[in-house]
A = this chain, B = another copy of it.
Amino acid sequence: MTSDGAAQEVDRTLEHTLAHIDAGQEASLGRLFELLRIPSISTQPKHAGDCRRAAEWLSGLLDGMGFDASVRDTPGHPIVVAHDRSDAGGPHVLFYGHYDVQPVDPLSLWNTAPFEPVVRDGAIVARGASDDKGQVMTFLEAIRALREAEGKLPVRVSIILEGEEESGGENLLPFLKANAEELRADIALVCDTGMVGHQIPAITTMLRGLVGEEIVISAADRDLHSGIFGNAARNPIHVLADIIAGLRDADGRVTLPGFYDGVTDVPDAVRSAWNAIGLTDEAALGPVGLSIPAGERGYSALEQTWARPSCEVNGITGGYQDPGFKTVLPAKASAKISFRLVAGQQPERIRAAFREFVQSRIPGDCSVEFRPHGGSPASAVPFDGAPLKAALQALGEEWGRPAVTIGSGGSIPVVGELQQALGLNALLVGFARDDDRIHSPNEKYDLDSFQRGIRSWARILHALAAA
């Protein structure tokens, strides 16, 4: 057979598999719904049993798909590991995803129950529909279809699915290190990112890191009557507001000393490519009801979220919060604050600078408690080899337009951890859309993302085998 003949053979095989995927749509959706019904919220202790249930469900699914699958205990939620029983040779890929989801509050804003998935307006609606259960299932359904249609997989596949991605769990890295021999592969595949807009397929090569800190400021040793003590006694809400207001200057720059050390602007060529995508500030913010970029002056909304570090308060609480009024002067006030980091910033230096900044603003008769959360550097995936080109090509063929490389504002700590523990580069391919409302009420995943996501993975695995 000539090389052309071999290529035509592969094409015919792939076409057959893609048709098999299309024919199995309803069954694929049914399996995703089963997974979505498990409320595996990793940050809330009461859902620990649900997290284990999700892990066991996935392990059982993979076992039935020809994998040696197991649920591995950790000090936190378990990790699912699976290896293809019938090693087909070719490059060895390690697929990563997470089965845990974000909390669902405020529940009152959901149109349907978050763990009772429905299809509405062409999208699957449920907590985790997009982040990350729907995305995980695009890969698993592609594997199932490839096995069913072709009898074997085009590459050697191992899979790892964790349950603490949404809760800053620190159990994955030790697990990867402890099982490095078993998990070694040629390349990692991660499905936890998105497309650009609704139609441009994308591979993410820049990811921001994260440092989180909860601070609790204590003043008086009890709640006080604001009439009797107000003005004279320190109000911890005021102390907290002063700190938060002081964290950013009038130009939206973070004021922590040394915060921007090592941070560089993206090259002009990259900026030009991003500008060509057509994601203007209005296009980026309009869908959520905003129009004015809020952050660092001089950078587009897209550049602010893809390539600039930031500071956001994710939660604040203090004093009386129920209906009506209570003229209390609270004893404590607290906030959850996170920093998104870019390449060049070191998480623990940022954390130390923040703590020093806060500590220096605490009055002498007050105190502050720091509760650390997360701490991962940014990842700039230095990926210009054949696998990336092959994957871009395969994606472009599925979606009918060239795929692009992009940055992402979200943190995916696993990318750095796969590099650190296993020496693996990761290919970040995902099918989420900007309007998926991940982490928000009414999270959804387009049926189109799910179906063409499955098809995309079938194409990518074939392309990786040929690369």
Chain A contacts with B in 254-296, Cβ cutoff 8 A: 281, 284-285, 288-296
Q: When the two chains form their complex, are residues A241 and B231 in contact, meaning their CB atoms are under 8 A apart?
A: no
Indicate the size class of the contact surface on chain A: 35 or more
Interface bits A207-229 vs B (CB < 8 Å: 1, else 0): 01010101000011111111111
**For the complex, is A238 an interface residue (Cβ under 8 Å from B)?**
yes
State A385–B54 Cα separation when bound (angstroms).
Answer: 79
A231 to B304, Cβ gap below 8 A? yes
Whether A364 sits at the interface, judged by CB under 8 Å, is: yes
A434 proximity list for chain B (CB < 8 A): 228
Residues in chain B near residue A199, CB distance under 8 A? none
Complex partner residue of A212 from B208, B220, B228, B327, CB under 8 angstroms: B327
The contact string, 1 if C-beta is below 8 Å from chain B, for chain A 21-40, is 00000000000000000000
Decide: B44 and A324 in contact? CB cutoff 8 A: yes
A292 near B230: Cβ-Cβ < 8 Å: no
Residue among A232, A237, A248 with the highest chain B CB neighbour number at 10 A: A232
Does any Cβ of B come within 8 Å of A45's Cβ?
yes
Q: CB of A326 within 8 A of chain B?
A: yes
Task: Given A316-B333, A440-B224, check contact A327 B338 (CB 8 Å).
Answer: yes
B440–A295 touching, CB < 8 Å? no
Distance between Cα atoms of A227 and B364 in the complex (Å): 35
Residue of B nearest to A339 (CB): B230
Cβ contact within 8 Å between A317 and B321: yes
Kindly provide the distance from the CB of A198 to the nearest chain B CB, expressed in whole angstroms.
Answer: 15
Closest 5 CB pairs of A and B: A227-B410, A221-B289, A43-B324, A245-B245, A315-B319
**Chain A residues close to B by CB (< 8 Å):** 43-45, 102-103, 105-106, 109, 166-168, 208, 210, 212, 214, 219-235, 237-238, 240-242, 244-246, 248, 252, 281, 284-285, 288-296, 301-302, 304-305, 308, 310, 312-330, 333, 335-336, 338, 340, 363-366, 373-374, 408-411, 434, 437-441
